[in-house]
Amino acid sequence: MSTTSSTASTRPPAIGSRPNRRALVALAALSIATAATVAPPARGQQIVFDPRAHVQTSLQAARQLESLANEARQLANEARTLAASPYSHLAESSATLRNIGELARTVRGTASTLQGVQRQFSDLYPDDLSTADLLALGGQRNTTARRTAEDVARSAAELERLSEGRDRRLRGALSASETAEGQTAAIQSSTQMLAVLAEDLASMRTTLLAQSRLMAEATARQAAERDAAAEARRRFWGRTSTVPRAPTFNPLSHARD
């Protein structure tokens, strides 16, 4: 009985027993895992996909796109800032200023230059004159005075004609300044307003110069007339006195009648 029991205990387990099935399952799992970890032979070169690297590349591309968008917006703002004003009247203002300047060079009365004034006053108001010269220069002085007064009136009329479009230009510059989108357009509008003010200043300057010539001429003419009258009286009363001759007839012969 004991021998039979020992022989039966050392016999290997049957194929269909539970421990043998577990060993087979473990062996199959190990074979599958090994097959999964071993890369199959590649033809040429195998493409390996790395999700982390793909995400980083996408983030870098997004940052670059955002930077380019910011630069585009900055360039658009700079272009808007540098945009020129659509309104400009500088050509008209330049022509008006030239016409105003021509008024000072077309005077016919008292000269408008230093050399001309010196030459004119030396001719019309010399220091020593004879009575005949005083009478002759009196007519020339009157002619010069009349032409100087005409210059003042002509300058005033011409300046009034040139100022007809000045209000329109000023309103256009103000409107362009209000609607300016950038700094350059605003500066240009301010410059155009300054051009209109320059026209006003040039007009006032021309008027003052013409009036100054008229006042200087009138003052010099009045002083010359006073000096001429005083010289004429001095020359008349400074003559040598003579006794009148007695009459050749008796003025009282018929006084008793």
**Mean pLDDT across the chain:** 75
Let me know if residue 75 belongs to a domain: no
Q: Closest Cα to residue 144, out of 122, 111, 166, 119?
A: 111
Contact 109, 210 (CB under 8 A): no
Total length of the chain: 257
Region 205-229 average pLDDT:
88
Work out the pLDDT band at 153, boundaries 50, 70, 90: very high
d(CA 207, CA 153): 9
Cα distances from 90 to residues 67, 120, 193, in angstroms, run 41, 38, 10
Range of the domain at 192: 90-236
Work out the pLDDT band at 22, boundaries 50, 70, 90: low
Let me know if residue 150 belongs to a domain: yes
Let me know if residue 11 belongs to a domain: no
Q: Is 44 left (phi over 0), alpha (psi -120 to 50) or beta?
A: left
DSSP code for 85: P
Let me know if residue 142 belongs to a domain: yes
**Residue 39, C-beta contacts closer than 8 angstroms, at least 6 positions apart:** 46
Per-residue confidence (pLDDT) for residue 196, from 0 to 100:
86
38 has pLDDT over 50: no
Please tell me the pTM assigned to this model.
0.55
d(CA 206, CA 212): 10
Number of H helices, E strands in the chain: 8, 0
d(CA 203, CA 93): 12
Question: For the chain, what is the domain count?
Answer: 1
166 has pLDDT over 80: yes
19 has pLDDT over 70: no
Assign 179 to helix, strand or coil: coil
Let me know if residue 249 belongs to a domain: no
- Render pLDDT for 62-119 as a digit per residue (tens, 0 to 9): 778 777 777 777 766 666 665 566 777 778 888 888 898 888 788 888 888 888 888 9
Let me know if residue 246 belongs to a domain: no
